[in-house]
Amino acid sequence: VFGGGCFWCTEAIFERLKGVISVSPGYAGGTMKNPTYEDVSTGKTGHAEVIKIEFDPEKVSYHDLLTVFFATHDPTTLNRQGSDIGTQYRSLILYHTESQKKEAEEFITNLNASEQRVVTEIKPLNTFYKADEYHKNYYTKNPAAPYCQIVINPKIEKMEKRFHELLK
């Protein structure tokens, strides 16, 4: 489970990768039970907008997912991605296994060794709350929306150029 700003953006990125079976937008990392989009948008629930990725490790590795995650958002900006500001847009990895935790920690250690100051949180996944259906495949359903044109399109173009070998 990754949080890298707006879940419309991260979903649009990861659904293009080979080996990714499904991407579900939702909320996690906070304390409020059954939060809504409106609740999370206040920044007071502790939850972040996240995506839950189901993937086939025979086709795409967790390391590849981490590589794309860190390359497609700014992991050095606390509680902000572009014009999306608040704790709900923080950089966050919620792991399922100790091996995922270790790999994410090692990845960040290597990034920090290259002069970056990564602020990405790494925490165990406790509960994932699925977002309302209208958030699912938002970019695919609304490609002409201004947010999609201005924010998501450039991210997708950059990702497709850099990671063309990982695309479906």
Identify whether 9 is a catalytic site residue: no
What's the rounded Cα separation, in Å, for the pair 58 and 62?
10
What's the rounded Cα separation, in Å, for the pair 100 and 133?
28
DSSP 86: S
Given the residues 1, 6, 20, 94, the one annotated as active site? 6
Token pair for residue 80?
A: 């902000």
Q: Are 165 and 17 in contact (CB under 8 A)?
A: no
Q: Cβ of 99: how many Cβ atoms within 10 Å? A: 10
- Find the helix or strand (DSSP H, E) in which 121 lies: strand 121-124
From 45, 125, 38, 50, select the one nearest 81 (Cα to Cα).
50
Q: Which residues are catalytic?
A: 6
